[in-house]
Structure 1
């Protein structure tokens, strides 16, 4: 188990960028899949939704990360805590996906809902794995490399 230490803003930004790359790719694929299944296949809409999400969610993800940084500092980061963080982010992000999808598609209907619900499941797994991976990467765990100690 990793003990969470105070981390830099740069780390939160890097983590946000890596997450948004994964998440935006997933969003574009999910939007494309759902719109194609509904008979209104649109790569343009998929890219538009993904782009808007990238920008808006990057900012909100950063704030979410910093809030959780304060919650977790000097605490052991168990799988349960990662799950709690994942759930809190999914509530925020899935709600935003529904609103963004509905706005771009000009309808807050079942298509926007299917996009948000599909993303709920795909991103839940991806986000959890992303969090656990960042805990294992040197940038994901704040180590005292300069003092020769690993914690």
Structure 2
């Protein structure tokens, strides 16, 4: 059985960037869907929310990732542990999305709530599989690649 190993800060950062690309794309599409269903279609709002979310949540994701590194270090890798990590991220991320959406849309109303709730479900699945995929990538690959670039 495989156990969690200490990941480098580079790996956490690259993992965060890859997640933010997936998650921000989802956010823009969810905002577009929800605003269109409310007869207020706005790609511009989706892009604004996505842009702010990308950078803000990248920092939050990195901190979340490093905390979970400490919690899971040395433990067996299981789907249940991935599920707990996914749930904790969704609580933080969905709350953040609601706040960002409300601020951009100038109202903390049903639309901001629907955006947050819709992405809670879409991103729950996306995050879980993103996490499982990164568990399959061998440690040290990013670090070795970056060392080669420096030479």
TM-score, structure 1 length as denominator? Answer: 0.91
Question: What pairs with 1:31-110 in structure 2 (closer than 5 Å)?
Answer: 31-110=31-110
2:138 alignment partner, SS class: coil
Cα deviation, residue 77, structure 1 = 1.5
How big is the shift at 1:26? 0.2
**1:2 partner SS:** coil
Cα distance change on mapping 1:139 and 1:41 into 2, 3 Å: farther
String of CA shifts for 1:24-64, please: whole Å, max 9, x gaps: 00000000000011000011100000000001000000000
Cα contact 2:20–2:54 (8 A) shared by 1: yes
Q: Distance in 1 between matches of 2:28 and 2:140?
A: 26
Give ranges in structure 1 of 5+ residues lacking alignment.
143-151
Using the size of structure 2 for normalisation, the TM-score is 0.91
RMSD: 1.5
**SS across alignment from 1:16:** helix
CA contact (8 A) 1:134 1:140 kept: no
Matched, 1:137 2:143: no
CA contact (8 A) 1:2 1:135 kept: no
More helix by proportion, 1 or 2?
2
Instruction: Determine helix, strand or coil for the equivalent of 2:74.
Output: coil
Shift of 1:81: 0.2
**Structure 2, unpaired ranges of 5+:** 143-151
C-alpha change, 1:89 and 1:141, in structure 2 (3 Å) is: farther
Q: Aligned partners of 1:139, 1:131: CA distance in 2, in Å?
A: 14
